[in-house]
Amino acid sequence: MSLKRFDGLVAVVTGAANGIGAAIATRLADEGARIAVIDREADSLARSFSGLSSESCLAFAGDCTDQTTLSAFAVQAREKLGPIDILVNNVGQSARERGGPFLGSDENVWRFVLEISLMTSLRMTRLLAPNMKARRFGRIVNISSDAAFAGDPGLVDYATAKMGLVGFTRALARELAADGVTVNAVAPGAVATRAHERIAPEILERLRRDTPVGFIAAPQDVAGLVAYLASPEARFVTGQTILIDGGRWML
């Protein structure tokens, strides 16, 4: 990677052990950032970032839905790496095996999906954004989903949480714009992650057919867009939600 846009900067990425989160954290590190990453999958987290030195990477195993865990992670990240310049709120998931039509769904499942896909981002931002504001610089990127726009059947709770991130992004961007902190969202469509291993081949083929470019993205495709939004080049971009879904949903 020839670009070094993040030399001297510190980035936090949640849900970074695999897939999109790991690709984002790797891209930021490749461009010079010191990174702090958190995920509940300790072994995967260690494997994903084993090539980085302890001076440039904090890998923290913990549950992002737990406030105490997030607070401890934030403290360790600042103490080890310095003030946080970039926050990527990536952690989130659908109900997966517990998902299905809304009229047959259970409130406990909704609460889980809202907790992990929306509330974690609010909590992590609340922990880190005040220092960004005080230092008059920061980049916050929230990972939403094109499911929030397309309204995919069986994903009512997930679409609700991910559209909540869009509203959060817009309102917070207005609050922090004058303080040098930008807030944007990225809404991926079909991306080849471990979740696809549990999807039937015929559904994956339908996803491919429904994507105008004709293929399913790699996590690195999303990482490239996030890296731009986190960079100094994007200083005039805030409050935006950018879909990266091969043209499935067009604004």
Contact 186, 226 (CB under 8 A): yes
Sign for the CA dihedral angle at 107, 63, 33, 3 comes to negative
Contact 68, 38 (CB under 8 A): no
- Set out the domains of the chain in order of their start, with CATH numbers: 10-244 (3.40.50.720)
pLDDT for residue 152 = 81
Of the candidates 77, 158, 216, 217, the residue annotated as catalytic is 158
Widest CA span in the chain: 51
Question: If 0-12 CB within 10 Å is exposed, 13-18 middle and 19+ buried, where does residue 160 land?
Answer: middle
Strand partners, 186: 143, 242
Distances in Å between the alpha carbon of 100 and those of 156, 171, 179, 221?
Answer: 9, 31, 42, 29
Q: What is the pLDDT along the chain (251 residues), one digit of tens a residue?
A: 467 999 999 999 999 999 999 999 999 999 999 999 999 999 999 999 999 999 999 999 999 999 999 999 999 999 999 999 999 999 998 867 677 888 988 999 999 999 999 999 999 999 999 999 999 999 999 999 999 998 888 889 999 999 999 999 999 999 999 999 999 999 999 898 877 666 667 767 888 888 999 999 999 999 999 999 999 999 999 999 999 999 988 87
Question: If 0-12 CB within 10 Å is exposed, 13-18 middle and 19+ buried, where does residue 129 land?
Answer: buried
Task: Kindly report the pTM of this predicted structure.
Answer: 0.94
- In the residue annotation, 158 being an active-site residue is answered as yes
